[in-house]
């Protein structure tokens, strides 16, 4: 299924030769690697793992495309979301996020998301954006996570309407995060290390752990 953070088979990498300095035509999403347990030490930041489909957003000259983790263009399947993204105050950008459908309690409902695509009724799909990779002519993948998140927050503050949303983070300890959840909140997570590498598509250091309520990890460069 598109949008899953990890898969038993590694898809073939798409290679596109872009001119130096040009906005990338293709960016491979950074994925997670399954590990036996969550890391106990280190400079970690914790993010909610939404129960949806992974989606990259490419904006060029104000026109948006929504691309699945395997490179499929799903823009035409989500016209309302595309229009909302095109209202963001940016000319060119690559964003990384996850599309979901929220239920009456405000939590992601994966079955509702599947049904929305099956029934071609996608007006309620929301994208939670957690990373920015390119911004108005600048490749920011080599910047540390905190710097990229600052850029992303400024951009998402300009969003009109509820469909594109900024995915928040927390600095709670791992145990605290499992015990201080709001009532009825989704309990799938992606945990991000802020002290190792830039954004990249390889599975060397991003980790996914299924032992503690399905925590997920991705590592980024040292600040």
The three state secondary structure string of 81-121 is HHHHHHCCCCCCEEEEEEEECECCCCCECHHHHHHHHHCCC
133 located within any domain? yes
Tally of domains within the chain: 1
pLDDT of residue 101: 95
pLDDT of residue 40: 64
- The CATH number given to whatever domain includes residue 211 is 3.30.470.30
17 located within any domain? no
26 located within any domain? no
How many residues appear in the chain?
223
Six-digit token pair at 107? 């939590």
pLDDT of residue 5: 39
Q: No. of H helices and E strands in the chain?
A: 4, 12
pLDDT of residue 174: 42
Six-digit token pair at 72? 């499929």
183 located within any domain? yes
Q: Is 10 a catalytic residue?
A: no
91 located within any domain? yes
User: Pick from 120, 5, 135: which is nearest to 68 by CA?
Assistant: 5
* CA 218/CA 199 separation, integer angstroms: 9
99 located within any domain? yes
Q: What is the pTM of this model?
A: 0.78
Cβ atoms 122, 81 nearer than 8 A: yes
Q: Give every CB contact of residue 44 below 8 A, 6+ residues apart in sequence.
A: 174, 191, 192, 193, 194, 217
Structural domain containing residue 212: 33-221
Six-digit token pair at 124? 């309620």
| Residue-level pLDDT, tens digit, the chain, 223 residues | 444 334 444 455 566 788 888 999 999 998 766 666 656 666 666 666 778 999 999 999 999 999 999 999 999 999 999 999 999 999 999 999 999 999 888 888 999 999 999 999 999 999 999 899 999 999 999 988 888 889 999 999 999 889 999 987 544 444 444 444 444 444 444 444 443 456 776 554 445 544 333 334 333 322 2
pLDDT of residue 204: 47
Select which of 49, 65, 80, 83 is catalytic. 49
15 located within any domain? no
């Amino acid at each position: 299924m598109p949008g899953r953070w990890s898969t038993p088979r590694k898809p073939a990498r798409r290679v596109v030769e872009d001119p130096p300095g040009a906005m990338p035509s293709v960016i491979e999403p950074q994925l997670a690697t399954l590990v036996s347990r969550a890391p106990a030490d280190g400079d970690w930041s914790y993010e909610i793992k939404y129960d949806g489909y992974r989606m990259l957003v490419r904006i060029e000259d104000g026109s948006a495309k929504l691309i699945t983790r395997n490179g499929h263009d799903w823009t035409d399947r989500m016209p309302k979301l595309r229009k909302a993204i095109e209202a963001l105050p940016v000319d060119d950008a690559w964003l990384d996020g996850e599309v979901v459908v929220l239920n009456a309690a405000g939590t992601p409902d994966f079955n509702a998301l599947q049904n929305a695509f099956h029934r071609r009724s996608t007006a309620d799909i929301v994208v939670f954006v957690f990373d920015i990779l390119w911004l108005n002519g600048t490749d920011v993948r080599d910047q540390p996570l905190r710097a990229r998140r600052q850029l992303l927050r400024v951009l998402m503050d300009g969003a009109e309407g509820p469909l594109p949303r900024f995915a928040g983070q927390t600095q709670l300890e791992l145990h605290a995060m499992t015990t201080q959840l709001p009532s009825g909140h989704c309990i799938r997570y992606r945990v991000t290390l802020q002290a190792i590498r830039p954004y990249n598509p390889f599975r060397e250091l991003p980790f996914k752990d299924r032992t503690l309520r399905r925590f997920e990890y991705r590592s980024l460069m040292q600040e």
